């Protein structure tokens, strides 16, 4: 039996194209992805408010977080935990060149459980002394 490879290659390409189209449609139309994204966005927005209330000291902050990543600052992520979220990112105050990393753990209601920052600001150090949830780590 002689197989016409030209026709078979067209049939194969058409079959693969249909399969990819079907899987793409299933992935795009999945409502769970949109719901998960909306929850993650709400958690990151809440983490921004918490971060600004703790480290801003009245100055405006430039943020690099999972919703607005600044490449030069470094990696950021949001990670689901059993009973909350872990959010990491970077911030810097207006006029500063150095990005300061932070790691925040939030519970299921988006309330602060713990936060670790690399910051040498005296006001933040004073807040860390008075609040067990806030930890200041050494700059590496």
Average pLDDT rounded to a whole number, residues 22-33:
90
Q: Which residues of the chain form beta strands (DSSP E)?
A: 61-64, 77-81, 84-93, 100-107, 112-117, 134-136
Name every residue whose Cβ is closer than 8 Å to that of residue 75 and which is 6 or more positions away in sequence.
88
Model pTM?
Answer: 0.77
Question: Where residue 140 falls among pLDDT bands split at 50, 70, 90?
Answer: low
Question: Where residue 39 falls among pLDDT bands split at 50, 70, 90?
Answer: very high
Average pLDDT, the chain: 90
């Amino acid at each position: 039996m002689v197989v016409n490879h030209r026709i078979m290659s067209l049939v194969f390409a058409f079959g693969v194209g249909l399969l990819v189209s079907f899987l793409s449609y299933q992935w795009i139309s999945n409502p769970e992805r949109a719901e998960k994204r909306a929850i993650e966005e709400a958690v990151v927005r809440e983490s921004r408010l918490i971060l600004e209330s703790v480290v801003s000291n009245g100055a405006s902050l430039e943020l690099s977080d999972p919703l607005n990543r600044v490449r030069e600052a470094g990696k950021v992520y949001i990670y689901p935990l059993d009973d909350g979220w872990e959010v990491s990112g970077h911030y810097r105050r207006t006029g500063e060149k150095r990005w300061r990393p932070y790691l925040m753990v939030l519970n299921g209601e988006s309330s602060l459980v713990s936060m670790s920052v690399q910051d040498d600001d005296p006001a933040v150090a004073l807040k860390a002394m008075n609040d067990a949830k806030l930890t200041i780590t050494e700059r590496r």
